[in-house]
Amino acid sequence: MDLNRAATFVRVVEAGSFTAAAGALRLPPSSVSRAVAKLEHELGVTLLERTTRKLSLTDAGRAYFERARDAVAGLDEASALAVDAAREPQGLVRIAAPPEMGGHLAALLADLLARYPRLSIDVAFTARGAELVGTQVDVAIVVGPLDDSALIVKRLGSTVHRLFASRAYVDRRGKPRNVADLARHACVLYRGQRTWELHGPRGKERVEVTGAISGDHLSFVYEAVSLGHGIGLMPAFLAHREPPLVPVLPAFAASGGLHSLVHPSRHLPNRVRLVRDFLTEKLALACTAGGACA
């Protein structure tokens, strides 16, 4: 069977007439009419009832159209993807990411844009990135569990959180010598969590901590720690901001949230696929290395 005839039939039905379809296909109406007639002859059924005023689908035509339309759409998408893949990546890619990833993500994307100068990136910082995928963003980096959905999910790994303080705090209060000592220090709390579970040379240790400041944003925790308000448990990459923080009990760490990268479809434009693969590689490496992703 000639697939061009099937595609022509779909265009005729969608356009509502041979003339309108011919205009869209840039063909003479007689050529479009002959293509549909030959398709009917090959199938041995009548697909369209023709009158002087309108076209209408037969039952067989309706059943054929429903299946053929999806097939033609798939071919159109495949053709567009093939053309896109052959070109240098270009155009806008929209990303959603947790707010605390700002500085780290900027450094990663600077490397990407140096390689592909015709790309442009727009980042929305939000903790609800999965809800924006497919409508407002192309891909999202998400922390924590995901609801069941049709999104494609790539697991990046879990982060590792470590203890840090400012130089001013350490000069004023000193460093804890062990996990139990943390109970006697001021701590900056994330989401009010007063029990810290740390993994170290002797396995798991828990300690109850206190502090005058808490917040539900890791960047806020970093700022409070950098101002000398106490010791914070946070992703390691935050400690490399300016001013840098001082590691506290570096042999101990806590498990952070699971990171995932999500997008709406397996068939992505080349520019989106490129950004997805780049972030998957770089952020998965960062997570594995111990806390640089978020």
- Domain positions in the chain are 3-86, 91-294
Tens of pLDDT, residues 74-101: 776 666 565 555 567 788 999 999 887 8
pLDDT at 5: 86
Contact 103, 222 (CB under 8 A): no
Q: E strands along 103-223, which residues?
A: 119-125, 139-143, 152-165, 186-190, 195-200, 203-208, 210-215
**CATH class (in words) of the domain with range 91-294:** alpha beta
Tens of pLDDT, residues 228-238: 999 999 988 77
Tens of pLDDT, residues 111-133: 999 998 989 999 999 988 889 99
Tens of pLDDT, residues 172-187: 999 999 999 999 999 9
Q: Give the Cα separation of 188 and 208 in Å (integer).
A: 13
Tens of pLDDT, residues 11-44: 888 888 888 889 888 889 899 999 999 999 988 8
pLDDT at 87: 65
3-86 to CATH, choices 3.40.50.720, 1.10.10.10, 3.30.420.40, 2.40.37.10: 1.10.10.10
